[in-house]
Amino acid sequence: MTRTRLTAVDEVPENGSFLFTVRERDGTEEEVILVRCDPGADGDGENEDEGGAENGDREETVRAWRNFCQHETDQRLDRGFGAAVREGEVVCPKHGSMFDTCSGYCDNGKAADSYLSDVEVTVDEGVVYLTDPGVRYSHDGGIDDGDDGPSSTSHLSF
């Protein structure tokens, strides 16, 4: 399995997100947000093995979601300064629908009864790795941040 180092778990904000860009199988670039997930926060821990990563330590669990709302897919959740995360939910900046950070599920507002689109990541000893076979790491930040030359050598794949 190929995995690419993304960042340390500690670098993922408690009330925000870590933004990076991947290349999809069809060659298009897509932004992805890493967010903290505390399965014990709202009793929604039964989906721990879906769409994300956990290493047995609840404090170090993160999830990765493609950076768009399910109500209007051109609406980014993180518009360049971190997604709004409140009490275990990602808040859409346009109409305020809230998505569970662990399951990606929304049960409210305009995006009700939908799930965010997940990207597979894995946590190993406090480090978050991209392990989704369907995408390749492109660079940190948003799509528009990728024009500055080669990405950092800290993102080694192995």
- Find the part of the chain contacting ligand FES (CB under 6 A) among 12-20, 31-39, 87-95, 130-138: 87-95
Q: Is 95 in the site for ligand FES (CB under 6 A)?
A: yes
Q: Which is nearer to ligand FES, 97 or 131 (CB)?
A: 97
CA–CA separation, 5 vs 71, rounded Å? 31
Under rule CB under 6 A, which residues in 118-147 are in contact with ligand FES?
A: none
Q: Is 86 in the site for ligand FES (CB under 6 A)?
A: no
Q: Is 75 in the site for ligand FES (CB under 6 A)?
A: yes
Three-point CA angle 129, 34, 80, nearest 5°: 125
Of the residues 35, 92, 123, 135, which one makes contact with ligand FES according to CB under 6 A: 92
Nearest distance in Å: CB 27, ligand FES: 26
Q: Can you point out the beta strands (E) in the chain? A: 4-8, 18-24, 29-36, 52-53, 62-66, 84-86, 89-91, 98-100, 105-106, 114-115, 118-119, 121-124, 127-130, 135-140
